[in-house]
Amino acid sequence: MASRLISISNHITSFSPDDFTSATHVVENQADQDQDFNAFTGDVALVEGVERGGGFSIPSAEPTLTRLGGQVGSKEWSDKSRCVYREELKL
């Protein structure tokens, strides 16, 4: 068992960072970050789940979720979320 682990360890350490820099596939299903989108109405599974769960029986549910989906998918929120990664975390 120990010799097998050493063999695996030697194989793993033989990788260089350059081995992981090539693209493996093209991602085409991402929203354009310079455009607003509605994160609720644009998510078919989420809308169907709310409907199946009876969420639309609450009169204010659909307009509220649509409004919040618009906020979450807005360029403004997208810009704010990117700022989080630019700032150093302070504990």
pLDDT at site 8: 54
Residue 83 lies in a domain: yes
What phi, psi does 32 have (nearest 5°)?
A: -65, 125
User: What is the count of structural domains for the chain?
Assistant: 1
Whether residue 9 is predicted with pLDDT greater than 60 in this model: the reply is no
User: For 1-91, where are the E strands, in sequence order?
Assistant: none
pLDDT of 65 reads: 96
pLDDT bin (cut points 50, 70, 90) of residue 63 is very high
Is the residue at 43 inside a domain? yes
16 close to 49: Cβ distance less than 8 angstroms: no
Give the model's confidence band at 38: pLDDT under 50 very low, under 70 low, under 90 confident, else very high. Answer: very high
- Give the length of the chain: 91
* Cα three-residue angle 41-43-45, rounded to 5 degrees: 120
Residue 67 lies in a domain: yes
List the domain range (segments joined by +) for residue 90.
33-91
Statement: the pTM of the whole predicted model exceeds 0.85: no
Higher-confidence position of 53 and 13: 53
Conformational region of residue 54, where left means phi above 0, alpha means psi within -120 to 50, and beta covers everything else: left
